[in-house]
Amino acid sequence: MASIDSGGGGGRKRVDHDVPLVPFIDLLLCTVMFLLVTAVWAEVAGMPATQSGGAIDGAEPPAMELLVTLSSSRVIVASTLGDEAALDLVDAHLDTPALVAILTRHRSESGRPLPVKLLPDDDVSTALLVETMDTLRGEGFASIAFPNAAGG
């Protein structure tokens, strides 16, 4: 405890106070720890994605890319070369093994993971969108872009 001595005396009432510093220091350390932990969470939770469909890290856009269109009933995977594959959703869930097979075929044909433009409809659930992005990232397709409505 820290005390404040007013120097009173001489018949006056003492106004000395004890200030409890230990609870104040505990609160301060808890606040600092909370801020440190949430700062790490914000960094770990980040996923690189671009809004306009441009290339990540300033690289030139490649000639071939995948277009993944999500609707409430199906997923369509197409490349800019013209081939297309459609997957129906099973009970509003992604058929992950079928999508992995399509992605593996595209990666083996091109020799590398291609950039992906993800085109979700307005009625697509967030869970389906995240599941699709997780599958793409799990298969090595790290460059995921969400083109805007203006055609970017």
The CATH code of the domain that includes 103 is 3.30.420.270
Query: Among the ranges 11-15, 21-25, 27-31, 109-113, which has the highest mean pLDDT value?
Result: 27-31
Rounded Cα gap, residues 46 and 79, in angstroms: 27
**Residue 25, domain member (yes or no):** yes
pLDDT tens, position by position, 18-76: 778 888 899 999 999 999 888 877 766 666 666 665 555 555 544 678 888 888 888 88
Q: Judge if 83 and 136 occupy the same domain.
A: yes
pLDDT tens, position by position, 138-149: 888 878 888 865
Q: Judge if 35 and 63 occupy the same domain.
A: no
Q: Order of strands across the sheet with 116-120?
A: 49-50, 144-145, 116-120, 66-70, 74-79, 84-88
Beta bridge partners, 75, equal: 70, 87
Q: Judge if 39 and 81 occupy the same domain.
A: no
Q: Judge if 114 and 94 occupy the same domain.
A: yes
The total number of structural domains that make up the chain? 2
Q: Determine if the pTM surpasses 0.75.
A: no
Q: Which domain holds residue 75?
A: 49-145
Rounded Cα gap, residues 20 and 27, in angstroms: 12
